[in-house]
């Protein structure tokens, strides 16, 4: 077990584990695995994702390759250091808090997730601006979403409400997990220009994000919140860093 990442049998076992979880998601922490094994599994799952994404990569390379307008706009607004901070730390943290933190129900977790979603709603629907843009509406969006999170946390923490939500999470976790994965994936259509063909190809264009959501969700529930968070940040850091290379074009 010293170097499981170089063993083919290890990936087969890992694939069976996550496939079983996808079939029947369980809101249960894995207490049998050590921290070391959890780290190996988290990395191994991401490597599996890369393998399964080969057909998608070929589709983008040979058939249809839409421009990532989000990355172009961000690189034009931020210095390399700020881009690493925003794209590699702040945005992954916000996404993990919004989509994965409250997979395990606690009033505080759901309050924080609600705050993130309120910020997104205000940004996109009310103010029609960008998530990472610090403009004249930024403080307003931040204050309202923070206030909403505090109010909802207080409501969720009421004994009867907390009891009902706990029961709801336990009863409907499967639907909650699936919904979080789909929303996380499909919300990334904003990376591309909203055209008829892009909307039509939405399920294909967002397959990478769907795979990521499954991995992040599985590791969050089974191992703990820090595992998908660190993985998400690391992937973004590597991707952004590679974009700085001259060969990136």
- Span 186-204, pLDDT tens digits: 999 888 888 899 989 999 9
Spatial contact of 183 and 202, defined as CB atoms under 8 Å apart:
no
Task: Kindly tell me the sign of the dihedral angle through the C-alpha atoms of 122, 124, 130, 135.
Answer: negative
pLDDT for 57 beyond 60: yes
The pLDDT score that the predictor gives to residue 71 is 66
Distances in Å between the Cα of 243 and the Cα atoms of 46, 95, 130, 232, 236 are 20, 21, 21, 17, 11
DSSP-based three-state secondary structure for 68: strand
Which residue ranges make up each domain of the chain? 4-85+155-248
| Residue bearing tokens 């009310």 | 126
- 24 secondary structure, DSSP code: S
Spatial contact of 228 and 219, defined as CB atoms under 8 Å apart:
yes
The pLDDT score that the predictor gives to residue 132 is 84
Q: What DSSP letter does each residue of 170-193 carry, written as one string?
A: HHHHHHHHHHHHHHHHHGGGGGB-
Q: What is the pLDDT of residues 103-150, one digit of tens each?
A: 999 999 999 999 999 999 999 999 988 888 888 999 999 999 999 999
The pLDDT score that the predictor gives to residue 147 is 97
pLDDT for 1 beyond 70: no
Choice among 17-26, 51-60, 150-159, 160-169 with the minimum mean pLDDT: 51-60
Per the confidence metrics, is the pTM higher than 0.95? no
DSSP H helices, the chain, are: 8-23, 35-52, 54-62, 69-77, 80-85, 91-99, 107-121, 138-156, 159-186, 196-200, 202-205, 207-222, 226-243
């Amino acid at each position: 077990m010293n170097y499981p990442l170089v063993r083919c049998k290890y990936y087969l076992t890992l694939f069976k584990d996550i496939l079983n979880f996808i079939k029947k998601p369980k809101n249960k922490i894995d207490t049998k695995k050590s921290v070391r094994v959890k780290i190996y599994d988290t990395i191994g799952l991401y490597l599996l994702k890369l393998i399964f994404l080969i057909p998608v990569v070929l589709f983008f390379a040979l058939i249809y390759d839409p421009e990532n307008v989000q990355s172009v706009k961000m690189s034009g607004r931020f210095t390399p250091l700020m881009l690493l901070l925003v794209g590699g730390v702040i945005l992954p943290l916000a996404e993990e808090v919004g989509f994965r933190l409250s997979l395990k129900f606690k009033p505080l977790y759901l309050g924080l997730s609600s705050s993130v979603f309120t910020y997104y709603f205000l940004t996109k629907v009310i103010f029609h601006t960008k998530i990472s843009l610090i403009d004249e509406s930024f403080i307003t969006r931040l204050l309202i979403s923070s206030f909403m999170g505090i109010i909802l946390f207080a409501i969720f923490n009421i004994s009867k409400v907390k009891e009902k939500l706990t029961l709801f999470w336990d009863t409907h976790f499967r639907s909650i997990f699936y919904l979080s994965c789909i929303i996380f994936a499909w919300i990334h259509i904003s990376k591309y220009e909203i055209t008829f063909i892009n909307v039509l190809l939405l399920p294909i264009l967002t397959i990478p994000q769907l795979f990521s959501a499954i991995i992040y969700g599985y590791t969050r529930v089974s191992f703990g919140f820090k595992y998908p968070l660190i993985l998400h940040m690391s992937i973004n850091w590597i991707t952004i860093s590679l974009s700085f290379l001259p060969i990136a074009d």
